[in-house]
């Protein structure tokens, strides 16, 4: 027998304020047609004044807990993936833990930009496998609207704010690829690409938050290759093939990247979850947002093999394979 971590519940939260492409055309030289053709994005959500990453996180986490049928007393691990913490320290996860009323186990942040949720999921899965936790909250939450240059149309049209969460729960499996739950994860980083996607500020460098800077063509090229490679890796680790995949949930950054990854993996478009049109790139939050979308739509059936994959600044990348 092998200890596995299964997805017990999912949840999401998007701020009330919506910024459409037409709204953006009033701020910067762009248009609805230009943005949709190049990115697939139609709208993004913007956090309200005074609304913090911990607030988005807690709302998504509560939704996931409700979906899972668990309470704060059942949670013994909180991991938050975010690039936009409330404060330099303590970890925003600590504030989320307190807001939820969770009183046991560790709570900490993971920073791997758009790959953050995969990194956080991997950490939670490993801790559950080792018996260090029984039930974990894994959250991805971002407020990118506060680290954007709203005069730079190459970046400001791409991002939005939001949060998604899952409850992972320990369960016994046979140790085969037919088990329910997380079957394999794979992570990577190439620090040589640090300056291709970064924020030009920080505590030690400028003592400011800074704004997003991106070399778009290089990000596109690397995103497609790294995401495909990582999915192929977790499939190989489980002695499964692309034909065994029922669903792909890629990082929701750009419709062209999403389509290219699906094509390279040989997946029909109907098996690729796409939500970027509704919330833009919410960095670490996109995968749990898309996963929650799939659950609400009733798309996944027991036994389905689902691949999650992302690439982000660093460059970081990763994938997780799970059986529903």
Residues catalogued as catalytic: 114, 251, 281
Neighbours of 1 (CB within 10 A): 8
Confirm if 72 and 105 have CB atoms less than 8 A apart: no
Q: What is the DSSP letter of 76?
A: -
Which of 13, 29, 5, 322 lies closest to 183, judged by CA? 322
CA pair distance 58, 262, nearest whole angstrom: 32
Q: Which residue has the tokens 């792909």?
A: 248
CA angle 308, 311, 13 (to 5 degrees): 60
Confirm if 66 and 305 have CB atoms less than 8 A apart: no
Tokens coding 42:
């139609």
Give the strand pairing for 135-143 and 77-81: parallel
CA pair distance 123, 131, nearest whole angstrom: 12
């Amino acid at each position: 027998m092998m200890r596995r971590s299964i997805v017990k519940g999912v949840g999401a939260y998007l701020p009330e304020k919506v910024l459409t492409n037409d709204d953006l055309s009033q701020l910067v030289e762009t248009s609805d047609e230009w943005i949709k053709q190049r990115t697939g994005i139609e709208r993004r959500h913007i956090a309200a004044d005074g609304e913090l990453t911990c607030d988005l996180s807690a709302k998504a986490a509560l939704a996931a807990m409700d979906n899972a049928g668990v309470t704060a007393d059942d949670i013994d691990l909180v991991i938050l993936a975010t690039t936009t913490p409330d404060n330099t320290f303590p970890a925003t996860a600590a504030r989320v833990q307190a807001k939820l009323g969770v009183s046991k186990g560790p709570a900490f942040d993971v920073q791997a930009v758009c790959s953050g949720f995969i990194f956080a999921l991997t950490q939670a899965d490993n801790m559950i496998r080792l018996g260090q936790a029984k039930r974990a909250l894994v959250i991805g939450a971002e407020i990118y609207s506060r680290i954007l240059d709203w005069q730079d149309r190459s970046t400001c049209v791409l991002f939005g704010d939001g949060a998604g969460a899952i409850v992972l729960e320990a369960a016994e499996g046979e140790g085969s690829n037919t088990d329910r739950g997380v079957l394999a994860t794979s992570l990577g980083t190439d620090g040589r690409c640090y300056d291709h996607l970064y924020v030009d500020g920080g505590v030690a460098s400028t003592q400011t938050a800074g704004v997003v800077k991106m070399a778009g063509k290089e990000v596109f090229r690397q995103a497609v290759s790294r995401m495909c490679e990582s999915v192929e890796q977790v499939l190989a680790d489980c002695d499964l093939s692309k034909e065994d995949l029922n669903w792909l949930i890629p990082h929701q950054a750009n419709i062209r990247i999403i389509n290219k990854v699906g094509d390279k993996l040989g997946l029909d478009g109907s098996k690729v979850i796409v939500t970027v049109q509704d919330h833009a790139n919410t960095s670490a939050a996109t995968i749990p947002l898309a996963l929650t979308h799939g659950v609400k739509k009733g798309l996944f059936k027991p036994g389905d093999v689902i691949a999650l994959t992302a690439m982000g600044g660093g460059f970081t990348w990763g994938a997780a394979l799970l059986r529903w």
